[in-house]
């Protein structure tokens, strides 16, 4: 009888051929390489791989639940990262917070990098949603200054989002090329949403917002970093909005558009 005939399913865990899952009846067993032994005897050398098994504390995955579970893990990890930084969002910390075993978590995220990248996508999605919320909530004929104030308040109201932005920016600056490239792509998308919101602002056109989009994005970066670090001690949104409005008036003839990448 072949080994594969005993169990319902044997699945390698992503790229690590020494880690795999065995589905047996209603349980999933995570098998992880524990150690490799080198044995020398009578001029011969053998290598023996020791495995450690762990029964995943959940029944066999149901069809369609995989992405939902990954989403749940991502949201919890994002919360932990916002509260404690990347070091507080280790796979072990996330598993503990969710009340599941590490084996269960490894099935969905065998490496922390994959989880960090999904947290980044979660952040990008929420940022786009916040910008759309700003556009939809803007009353028609809002002044440019009030529009900027409301934009700042939309983001500073969500403390988790501002903290995530801070930590993910650090990840991108240090070594994560994926997040860095995605930030560049998403910033152009967000600039288009700013131009859409400009259509509701008096004294501001989409062309003006297009020219100033990079400046506003840079200003927002600084303002949100200040808010993430200082909290209530940061400059109020109305003062920041007035300063940016004054800056835009002084440099109305300057093209602040960022270079396309």
Residue 151 has pLDDT above 50, yes or no: yes
Q: What is the pLDDT of residues 97-136, one digit of tens each?
A: 988 888 889 889 988 889 999 999 999 999 999 999 999 9
CB crowding 103-127: b at 16 or more within 10 Å, else e? bbbbbbbbeeeebbbbbbebbbebb
**Average pLDDT, whole number, for the chain?**
73
pLDDT of residue 15: 35
Break the chain into its structural domains and give their ranges. 3-56, 126-250
Q: Is the dihedral of CA 152, 157, 163, 165 positive or negative?
A: negative
pTM: 0.68
């Amino acid at each position: 009888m072949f080994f594969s005939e005993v169990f319902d399913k044997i699945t390698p865990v992503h790229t690590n051929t020494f880690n795999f899952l065995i589905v047996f009846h209603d349980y999933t067993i995570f098998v992880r390489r524990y150690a490799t032994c080198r044995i020398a005897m009578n001029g011969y050398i053998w290598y023996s791989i020791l495995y450690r098994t762990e029964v995943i504390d959940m029944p066999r995955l149901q069809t369609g639940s995989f992405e939902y579970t990954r989403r749940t893990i991502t949201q919890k990890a994002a919360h932990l990262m916002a509260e404690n930084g990347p070091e507080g969002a280790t796979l072990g910390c996330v598993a503990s917070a969710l009340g599941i075993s590490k084996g269960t978590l490894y099935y969905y995220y065998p490496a922390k990098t994959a989880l960090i990248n999904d947290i980044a996508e979660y952040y990008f999605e929420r940022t786009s949603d916040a910008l759309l919320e700003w556009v939809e909530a803007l009353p028609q004929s809002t002044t440019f200054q009030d529009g900027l104030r409301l934009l700042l308040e939309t983001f500073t109201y969500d403390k988790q989002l501002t903290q995530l932005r801070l930590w993910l920016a650090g990840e991108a600056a240090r070594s994560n090329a994926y997040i860095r490239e995605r930030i560049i792509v998403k910033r152009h998308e967000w600039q288009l949403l700013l131009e859409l919101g400009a259509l509701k602002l008096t004294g501001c056109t989409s062309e003006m917002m297009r020219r100033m989009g990079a400046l506003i994005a840079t200003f927002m970066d600084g303002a949100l970093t200040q808010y993430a670090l200082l909290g209530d001690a940061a400059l109020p949104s109305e003062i920041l909005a007035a300063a940016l409005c004054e800056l835009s008036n002084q440099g109305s003839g300057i093209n602040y558009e960022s270079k396309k990448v």
